[in-house]
A and B are shown apart, each in its own frame.
Chain A
Amino acid sequence: MQSLSNRKKVLEQKPLNFWERIYLPAVFKGLTITLRHFFKRIPTIKYPEQKRPYSKNFRGQHSLKRDEQGRERCTACGLCALSCPAEAITMISAERKKGEEILYREEKYAAVYEINMLRCIFCGLCEEACPKEAIYLDGPHVQPEYLRKDFIYGKDKLVEPKFEIND
């Protein structure tokens, strides 16, 4: 049949000639190739001892940021959860009580904030979506765990540690 793409090639299998039939030249050729690889530099990086340099904009584990006064920035607007293509984020919001102004910056805050690290694809869209600059993917790798439930990170793991305000 006429080939539409014009890229069709008809291959024909010729019977082997004498040198091909005694296999030896081909065997010898193969041996030189493998021997060359034997002495080649090995590109393996022995991971725990050697590490690859990370790129400047490497996206690792998320962290929920605090503002200059050490208050949590997140206002539980849910835009990150909405933007997340992997549906990795869930949260429960709560209203800020009187006297909690030193803890939360906005009147509404996330009482529970969970990211499932097994679902997350580290695309960074949550970071982009956040209107409060509350979430950044600037952490290290997610650590291995034995149980799936341990990969659901709550606020205890996500929120940055409190820092001293010195003024």
Chain B
Amino acid sequence: MELAFIIEKFALVILIFVVTLVIAMYSTLAERKVAGFMQDRYGPDRAGPFGMLQPLCDGGKFFFKEEIIPAGAHKALFILGPTIAIITACISSAVIPWGRDLTIAGRVVPLQVADINVGILYVFGVVALGVYGIMLGGWASNNKFSLMGAVRAASQSISYEIAMGLSIIAMLMVTQTLSLREIVEQQAGFNWNIWVQPLGFLIFCTCAFAECNRVPFDLPECETELIGGYHTEYSSMKLGLYMFSEYINMFVSSAVMVTLYFGGYNFPFIDSLGLSPNLLAILGMVIFFLKIFAFIFFFMWIRWTLPRFRYDQLMNLGWKMLIPLSIANIVLTGVITIVKDTFF
């Protein structure tokens, strides 16, 4: 491995890390702003112009809060919980292709940390690991509300991961590859996968909401029943890390959804603009981020529109509707593919 390669990857990792954290940070502000506007008010606007400094103030506040580890808690696991949550949230973006290859001084620099051929499976694996953070934290707190939250988180993510996986299978039948970069390249221009897999997208999107513990599926931290759910006993920056990992998860799952279904960094007429490849790569990246922001907005929009599901409704939706629906989607996709192959 040459030095330039290592430097290039290192720089990319740092950059993505910083961008992820900044986006997560400002998502907290955006969330409150969106909530405000949807409820006919302004949201935070006192710290700096338009409240732009609010996330910094919140972060500072988290650092200065008293750190409490309950007497009956399992100390090591209590600390491990938020650590796992934030680490898994941060590393899941490694396989996402952020843009076309850049050419800098004769070197081709791919805007993707790792183009592994099991791209989607990697995301799935890491996201599944993220539940351990919640479970460990909830269990280690030695609090029944936390434990309930943790148990809910575990059962919810297991149930929805099945439907999510099944919806991806239908998608893979169309794309014939697991590598995210190839999937994006196939969607060049306006051939986005959403046109061929609308049902799959709907299922995937619903499951993504459930996996991110977002309203309407935020039962693990349902305030009305469980006080704070799995993070009831957490305070200070540990609580901050849990919240942060939630926002990072939201960002990453928006990125995954855009990559899989909305063409990633492709946009219509990308090749008829006549721009230089480097410029196109950057433009593509900007477009990619715009799409991601649109999805993040969608996440928030849903949050401030829908009430929370009841637990039995959640399970019914997962097992009795989404799973059969995604299996039907697989069958449908198979039939359509065969019909297309034989007749056209």
The segment from B11-19, B32-40, B166-174 that touches chain A is B32-40
Q: Which interface class (under 10, 10 to 19, 20 to 34, 35 or more) fits A?
A: 10 to 19
Is A22 a contact partner of B321 (Cβ separation < 8 A)? yes
Is A31 a contact partner of B37 (Cβ separation < 8 A)? no
A35 CB within 8 Å of chain B: yes
Q: Residues of B contacting A23 with CB < 8 Å?
A: 317
B311 CB within 8 Å of chain A: no
Separation of A31 and B305 alpha carbons in the complex (Å): 6
Which residues of A in the span 1-58 have a Cβ within 8 Å of any Cβ on B?
Answer: 22-23, 27, 30-31, 33-35, 37-38, 40, 42-44, 46
A30 CB, min distance to chain B CBs, angstroms: 4
A6 CB, min distance to chain B CBs, angstroms: 33
Q: Residues of B contacting A44 with CB < 8 Å?
A: 40-42
Is A30 a contact partner of B306 (Cβ separation < 8 A)? yes
Separation of A25 and B41 alpha carbons in the complex (Å): 27
A151 CB, min distance to chain B CBs, angstroms: 26
B70 CB, min distance to chain A CBs, angstroms: 34
B338 CB within 8 Å of chain A: no
Q: Residues of B contacting A22 with CB < 8 Å?
A: 321
Partner of A27 from the list B34, B41, B306 (CB cut-off 8 Å) is B306
B5 CB within 8 Å of chain A: no
Closest residue of B by beta carbon distance from A21: B321
Separation of A77 and B101 alpha carbons in the complex (Å): 90
Is A34 a contact partner of B301 (Cβ separation < 8 A)? yes
Partner of B40 from the list A27, A31, A37 (CB cut-off 8 Å) is A37
Separation of A33 and B38 alpha carbons in the complex (Å): 9
The digit string for B54-91, where 1 denotes a CB below 8 A from any CB of A, is 00000000000000000000000000000000000000
Most chain A CB inside 10 Å of its own CB: which residue of B34, B39, B305, B321: B305
Partner of B38 from the list A27, A34, A43 (CB cut-off 8 Å) is A34
Partner of B305 from the list A30, A40, A42, A46 (CB cut-off 8 Å) is A30
Is A42 a contact partner of B304 (Cβ separation < 8 A)? no
B160 CB, min distance to chain A CBs, angstroms: 15
Give residues in B with beta carbon < 8 Å to A.
34, 37-42, 45, 301-302, 304-306, 317, 321
12 additional A-B residue pairs with CB within 8 Å, beyond A31-B301, A33-B305? A22-B321, A27-B302, A27-B305, A30-B305, A30-B306, A34-B301, A38-B38, A42-B37, A42-B40, A43-B40, A44-B42, A46-B45
A–B pairs, 15, beta carbons within 8 Å: A22-B321, A23-B317, A27-B305, A30-B306, A33-B305, A34-B301, A34-B304, A37-B39, A38-B34, A38-B38, A40-B40, A42-B41, A44-B40, A44-B42, A46-B45
